[in-house]
């Protein structure tokens, strides 16, 4: 049985703080959280191999269309 791990490389957070790289799964995460997920400025371990996006988190909000809700 082979255990899977992923390396989340070091990065700068949205607040420009340096965050050291880490291996997934991290202590306290589920054993299935073996993939590095998130964005260039927010990284975490998860169980979805397609959940890392190579741009900043704020960019996703910039791309999102405004949500217009009518209360009438």
Strands (E), 18-57: 18-19, 22-24, 35-39, 42-46, 52-53
The pLDDT > 70 percentage for the chain reads: 76
- pLDDT value of residue 66: 56
Indicate if the pLDDT at residue 22 is higher than 70: yes
Burial 1-32 (b: 16+ CB within 10 A, else e): eeeeebebeebeeeeeeeeeebebbeeeeeee
Question: Is the pLDDT reported for residue 59 higher than 80?
Answer: no
> Residue 1: which pLDDT band, with cuts at 50, 70 and 90?
very low
């Amino acid at each position: 049985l082979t255990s899977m791990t992923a390396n989340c490389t070091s990065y700068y957070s949205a607040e420009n703080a340096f965050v050291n790289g880490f291996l997934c799964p991290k202590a306290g995460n589920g054993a299935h959280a073996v993939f590095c997920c998130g964005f260039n400025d927010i990284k975490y371990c998860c169980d979805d191999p397609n959940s890392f996006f190579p741009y900043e988190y704020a960019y996703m909000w910039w791309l999102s269309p405004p949500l217009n809700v009518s209360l009438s």
